[in-house]
Amino acid sequence: MIKSEILVPLLNTNEPEARLVSIHVKDGQAVEKDAPLFTIETTKATSEIVSPETGFVRLWAKEGDTLAVGDRLGVITETVNEPFEIPKRSALYTSPKDVSSLEELRITKPARVLAKSLGIDLSALPTDRLVTEDVVRQFGGVTETFSVELPDSDKSTILIYGAGGHAKSLMEMVLQNNVYAIAGIVDDDERLTGKKVLGIQVLGTRVMLSALIKHGVSLAGNGVGGIIDIGARVRIFEILESAGFMFPALMHPRATVEPSALVEKGVQVFANAYVGSEAILHVKCMVNTNAVVSHDCEIGAYTHIAPGALLAGHVHVGERTLIGMGVTTAIGVKIGSGVRIGNGAIVLADVPDKTIIQAGRYWIGKAE
Closest to 207 measured CA to CA, from 150, 136, 157, 149: 136
Beta strand pairing call for 55-59 and 72-77: antiparallel
- In this structure, the answer to whether residues 260 and 352 fall within a common structural domain is yes
DSSP-derived letter for residue 207 is G
- In this structure, the answer to whether residues 29 and 115 fall within a common structural domain is no
- Which has the minimum average pLDDT: 61-70, 80-89, 307-316? 80-89
Residue 93 has pLDDT above 60, yes or no: no
DSSP-derived letter for residue 208 is G
Q: How many domains are there within the chain?
A: 4
Other CB atoms within 10 Å distance of the CB of residue 268: 28
Residues 187-215 have a mean pLDDT of 87
Beta bridge partners of residue 23, listed in sequence order: 38
Residue with more model confidence, 81 or 241: 241
Domain presence at residue 296: yes
Q: Last residue of a domain, which of 243, 265, 300?
A: 243
Query: The whole model's pTM is what?
Result: 0.63
Domain presence at residue 145: no
CATH of the domain at 353: 2.160.10.10
CATH of the domain at 127: 4.10.320
| Cα–Cα distances in angstroms (integers) from residue 291 to residues 1, 76, 117, 300, 359, in the given order | 53, 45, 37, 16, 17
- Which has the minimum average pLDDT: 24-28, 132-136, 241-245? 132-136
- The answer for residues whose C-beta is within 8 angstroms of residue 35's C-beta and 6 or more apart is 25, 50, 51
| Cα–Cα distances in angstroms (integers) from residue 306 to residues 175, 264, 287, 325, in the given order | 22, 18, 7, 5
Domain presence at residue 90: no
Q: Which residue range forms the structural domain that includes residue 167?
A: 156-243
CB 78 within 8 A of CB 146: no
- Report the C-alpha gap between 297 and 329 in whole angstroms: 11
Task: Calculate the average pLDDT of the chain.
Answer: 85
Determine the distance from the C-alpha atom of residue 45 to the mean position of all C-alpha atoms in its chain, rounded to a whole number: 13
